[in-house]
Amino acid sequence: MQAPNAAKKRPSLGTIPPSAQTRNSFVDKGRWAKTKGTKPVQDPTTVGEIFTKVLVHFCRKVLFVEAKYRLTAYAILLFFASLVTDYMPFPKTYFAYSDNFPNQYFVKFSWGWTFLVTGAFMYLTTAVYCCGNRQQILRHFVRLAIGTLVWFTWTNLFSMIETSTGQCLTKEAALYSVKSRRNCLGKGGKWTSFDISGHAFLLIWCIFFITEEARAIIGWDNIKDFIRHEEHNRGSALRVGSISTDTFEETPLKGLTDGEFEELKQNYGKHDVIAKIVLVGMTFLTLLWDLMIIATALYFHVMIEKVIAGLIAAVMWFAIYRGFYTLEVSPGLPGSGLFKYSDVKPAAVAATPKPSTSLGKGSSTAKVNKPASLPDDVPKFMGMPLYALRKRKDELEMDDLDSPTK
């Protein structure tokens, strides 16, 4: 029987079972090995960024309603609601009077508001996805000029139709010499004409213009990840022979020159927050224009005048954004620049294979090292492995093996 105070003999490596050797080898190599990684990690998300993401998410819900649902809603308003109110006038509200504040200061200048806010958004976003290329930026601004041409052409055409079909009536007789609404009202007459609703046309056109141009924000936050990954990949290409060669998969920014890439990083940093603030302004205008379309459908013009105006606006949107802008000769759709980002997800990490020595005699094929897996019997606390307890348990098991049987 072994003496109580006898020194315990530590078993030699040859007496340790293979399973214990494997576990101890894992502890010695995996616990203390120092790893050197150069892969960048995403910056911590701040409270401001969380609030901005929530706000942009709301804006996208408002702006990116499917076109078929918008068109259906406008058709119901301009046809059915207008038809009902032609025979059963809707009760008077604040919006029934043309001198209401939104009508006087927003609707009458609706294209001006749309031009300024959407134009600012176009500049901020094109400077990023065009990497500061002035020729590409100006090409996208052609869409703003085309939108202005649509507004100017149709509103003036409606005015010409109203003037040519108008007639000034008084209690006594018709005043054929009076050729304008203003002069007719000045003489105490009543002006009657076929007056296609300029408000219905312009409000619907402005809404479709805003919602189409706002699509540049789709996938916008991916650009930040692309920049971080591409910067790491380009830096890794210069560190040939370094210990860690882990890189990300190719990003859409790979084809950019160094100058374009630096311009992209600079412009994205400057314009990111401002572009999202302007997007909120575009959302506000969209909601306001929708409200004023409802007011127009309930209180102004007759049904046929509003239906024709809405139909023209819808046809112009479809012909331009779903037709012309998809052609090569066109300025292109919003978001089309020197790289794609709207339909591309950030790349995952692709570890560069590290060759190891051949295994076994006569083997000449290099194997790829695989990380050791954690043994199932390693004690854990809150998910973290406790290697010291595992090692102590192995030592006690070895002592039991060396102790003589009774």
Distance (Å, rounded) from C-alpha 119 to C-alpha 210? Answer: 10
Residues 334, 122: Cα–Cα separation, whole Å: 8
Residue 176 and residue 184: Cα distance in Å, rounded? 10
- Of 229, 232, 271, 301, the active-site residue reads 301
Q: What are phi and psi of 349, to 5 degrees?
A: -75, 130
* Strand, coil or helix: 363: coil
Give the alpha-carbon dihedral of 289, 294, 296, 298, to 10 degrees. -170
* Residue appearing with tokens 């010409």: 160
Would you state the structure tokens that stand for residue 65, as one six-digit string? 């309603």
User: Do 299 and 90 contact (CB within 8 A), yes or no?
Assistant: yes
Q: Are 126 and 337 a contacting pair, CB within 8 Å? A: yes
Helices and strands counted in the chain (H then E): 13, 7
End-to-end CA distance of the chain: 7
Nearest to 71 by CA among 329, 311, 399: 311
- Catalytic member of 140, 199, 229, 271: 199
CA distances from 50 to 29, 47, 53, 55, 89 (A): 41, 5, 5, 9, 47
Give the separation between CA 280 and CA 288, rounded to whole angstroms.
12
Question: Does the annotation mark 199 as catalytic?
Answer: yes
| Residue 336 CB contacts under 8 Å (≥ 6 apart), including other chains | 129
**Which positions are annotated as active-site residues?**
199, 301
